[in-house]
Amino acid sequence: MTHMRPAAVAGAFYPAQATILNKDVQQYLRESGTHLPSGQEALSWPKALIVPHAGYVYSGPIAASAYNLLAPGQGKIQRVVLLGPAHRVSFRGIALPGVDAFQTPLGALSVDRAGVAAIARLPQVLELPVAHAQEHALEVQLPFIQEVLGPVSILPLVVGEATTQEVAEVLDVLWGGPETVILISSDLSHYHPYAEARGIDTATVQQILRLDGTPIHHEQACGATPINGLLQIARRHHLQPRLLDLRNSGDTAGSRDTVVGYAAFAFFTEPTTP
C-alpha cells in the first residue's frame, strides 16, 4: 500500500477543487509571459529555481514566471528536488518525508526512492514525517510542477537548523544532469512597510545575483539556509542566475502597510564553448 502525504493546505493557500486549481495555475502561467533571457535560448530549461511559497493570490504570479521556463523540459525532466524552510516544526537537520507520494487535488506525485536512498546515509538527513505534515512551503509548489511537467518524481526536503555546507552536500549528491531540477522555496522579507521592504528585497536580489558567497540572512528570506546551500553549489557549477520577477504582497493582493516580499530566480548552466 502506498504511504501518501495528503494535501494539507488545499483550500487555504490554493484552491481545493481540481478544476478551479487547474484554471488558476494555467492563468498564472499564461499571464506571466516569461521567456528565456537573451543569450539563454540554447540552454533549454534552468537547472535551478528560487520561487516564493505564499498563497497563490499573493505569490502565484511570481512563481509562474519561473515555472514557465521549465515547460521545454516536459517529458525530459524526470525529477524535481524541492527544499524549503520549516515553518511548523523545529528540528536539527534536513527532513525526508517518510512517504511514497504527495497528494494534491490534481493527483499524486511519487517520491524519488533512489534519491532518498542516496542521501539517507548523510548525518544531517533524517526521516521526519511530522516536519512535512502541515508544511506549506513545498506543497504549494506541487500543482505548478504537475501542470508544467506532468507526473515527474519529487524529492521534498524540509530544512530545519542546518548549515550551508550541509545543504550543499545534499544538493551535490542529488545534482544529476538535465533530468533533475533543483527548486528552492522561499519568500523574502516579512512585515515591513512597502517602501522599506522594496529596499531590503532589492538588496537581497543583488546579493543573490552576485554569487559572491555573502550569506543571505533569515531576516532577508525565510528560506535563507536552502538558498545559501544552492548559491554555494551554483558557484561551483558556474551557474548563471537571472532575476525573473520581484514584487511583494502590496503589489499583488494585500495592504501596503506591511508586506511580504517575493522573487523568482532561474539558474542556468553556462553554454559550452565549441
CATH of the domain at 206: 3.40.830.10
* Residue type (1 letter), 97: P
| 69 belongs to a structural domain | yes
| 96 belongs to a structural domain | yes
pLDDT digit string, tens, across residues 12-51: 999 999 999 999 999 999 998 766 655 555 458 999 999 9
Distances, alpha carbon 88 to alpha carbons 96, 136, 211, 220, in Å: 15, 9, 30, 19
Rounded (10°) angle between helices 142-149 and 18-32:
70
Residues 225, 93 contacting (CB under 8 angstroms): no
The single residue listed with the C-alpha cell 551535490 is 172
| 58 belongs to a structural domain | yes
Virtual torsion, Cα 111, 115, 118, 119, nearest 10 deg? -70
Give me the number of domains the chain comprises.
Answer: 1
Asked whether residue 156 carries a pLDDT value surpassing 70, the answer given is yes
| 150 belongs to a structural domain | yes
| 262 belongs to a structural domain | yes
| 36 belongs to a structural domain | no
pLDDT digit string, tens, across residues 196-240: 999 999 999 999 999 999 999 999 999 999 999 999 999 999 999
Expressed in percent and rounded to 5, the helix, strand and coil fractions of the chain are 40, 25, 35
| 134 belongs to a structural domain | yes
Q: Read off the pTM.
A: 0.95
**What integer pLDDT is reported at residue 65 of this predicted model?**
97
Indicate the pLDDT class of residue 274, thresholds 50, 70 and 90.
Answer: very low
Distance CA 249, CA 86 (A): 21
Please give the backbone phi and psi of residue 163, each rounded to the nearest 5 degrees, phi first: -95, 160
How confident is the model over 86-112, as a mean pLDDT? 98
Indicate the pLDDT class of residue 157, thresholds 50, 70 and 90.
Answer: very high
Residues 87, 129 contacting (CB under 8 angstroms): no
* Residue type (1 letter), 182: I
Distance CA 159, CA 139 (A): 14
Containing structural domain, residue 58 = 47-269
Percent of the chain residues past pLDDT 70, beyond the cut:
95
Question: Smallest Cα–Cα separation from 171: which of 82, 88, 241, 240?
Answer: 82
| 30 belongs to a structural domain | no
